[in-house]
Amino acid sequence: MKKLAGIIVILWIGALGLNAQDRFPTRRLTSDPAQQGFPTWSPDGKFIIHQHSDLNDSRGKNGLWRISPDGTGAIHIFHELAEHPKWSPDGRLVVFDSDTGHSIKMIPAVGGAPINFLPDSIHIENGGLPCWSPDGSQIAFLERTGLSVCVYQMEGGEINSIFRKEGLLPLIGGWTPDGKNILVGLMERQTRKSTIWKVSSDGKEETQISGHHENFYRYLALSPDGSLLVYGVIEGRYVGLYVMPFEGGPSLPLIVSEQGHNEGASWSPDGRQLAFTSTRSGSFDIWIMDVDQEQLKKDLKMDW
């Protein structure tokens, strides 16, 4: 009996060690052999839209799906390949990368015909990472000819290039809650390492945010209150999610698996949950973590 108890303790400790990099409880939302990814929350927190990608799609499931955070009620709202969806702040529209990354389109959030809104003179390739401003009046995106961050005005259709750094690839990571700044990861394409920048929406001011993990990779996600920044980090063969204070400081592992990618995080509107993409189960699926922001802030301060 004592020997059996010892084995149970050893197994329990081993399991704890394997999951120790998940700071809070997680649960699997989707389960499919195809790639499920890039979740985006509805403004009221009642739904999540995510992409479904399968190059050998014999079941007609490619496109965008809407699902409840409890995993029920999945609805197919767009039936072509799509990536990087973002729900508009008023809940009416979804903007996304289309045509295998060669265009940006939007559709009604309930589903419908895609809307082309950028002129043909704008070059999109490998995805433009479109992101809504908090008031829904602007969309930031990556234009590939000049490798520049551009801002599209919903009213009038004006487009302005606001930020570029010679030889570096800017990866748009969203807006600050006040709508004054856009977050950008600047990637060195040879090393795949990046730096984080805060750029004013008019392009007149740019500030580098320091203190993040040295192997920062991509996909920034700022908490709804603007205090915490989640981002992807290269950990050996895989990508994990780390968190840091938005204004700079130490970082902590948030969601890291020994055998799997974790990336593409999206905060729920109330800041209590993170939806993210993970391969920890063997395929690309959407997972959700219940986040205690106050505990995170305490942990970050303890490490200062």
Q: Where are the beta strands (DSSP E) in 63-180?
A: 63-67, 75-78, 82-87, 93-98, 103-108, 115-116, 131-132, 138-143, 148-153, 159-163, 169-175
**Residue reference for tokens 């289309």:** 98
Two tokens, residue 142: 């990556």
Per-residue confidence (pLDDT) for residue 207, from 0 to 100: 95
Per-residue confidence (pLDDT) for residue 284, from 0 to 100: 94
CA distance 144 to 170: 10
Q: Give backbone dihedrals phi and psi of 94, rounded to 5 degrees, phi first.
A: -130, 125
Q: In which domain, by residue range, is 228 found?
A: 25-302
Domain count, the chain: 1
CA angle 24–239–43, rounded 5-degree value:
55
Does residue 125 sit within a domain? yes
Per-residue confidence (pLDDT) for residue 8, from 0 to 100: 33
Per-residue confidence (pLDDT) for residue 17, from 0 to 100: 33
DSSP character at residue 183: E
Per-residue confidence (pLDDT) for residue 88, from 0 to 100: 98
CA 58 to chain centre: 28
Does residue 246 sit within a domain? yes
Per-residue confidence (pLDDT) for residue 57, from 0 to 100: 85
Does residue 156 sit within a domain? yes
User: Alpha carbon of 125 to those of 96, 104, 146, 193: distances in Å?
Assistant: 13, 10, 12, 21
Paired with 49 in beta bridges are 40, 66
CA distance 65 to 272: 22
Question: Residue 243 in contact with residue 251, Cβ under 8 Å?
Answer: yes
Does residue 196 sit within a domain? yes
The CATH number of residue 211's host domain is 2.120.10.30
Per-residue confidence (pLDDT) for residue 137, from 0 to 100: 98
Give 10-residue mean pLDDT values along the chain (304 residues): 36 34 93 92 98 88 96 95 97 96 97 95 95 98 95 97 94 97 92 91 95 82 96 89 91 91 96 96 95 94 51
User: Alpha carbon of 78 to those of 60, 114, 168: distances in Å?
Assistant: 11, 8, 33
Does residue 16 sit within a domain? no
Question: Residue 147 in contact with residue 164, Cβ under 8 Å?
Answer: yes
Does residue 5 sit within a domain? no
Instruction: For the beta carbon of residue 41, count every other beta carbon within 10 angstroms.
Output: 22
CA distance 281 to 294: 29
Paired with 276 in beta bridges are 287
Per-residue confidence (pLDDT) for residue 148, from 0 to 100: 96
Q: Tell me the pTM.
A: 0.90
Residue type (1 letter), 229: L
Q: What DSSP element (H or E) covers 131?
A: strand 131-132
Instruction: For the beta carbon of residue 218, count every other beta carbon within 10 angstroms.
Output: 19
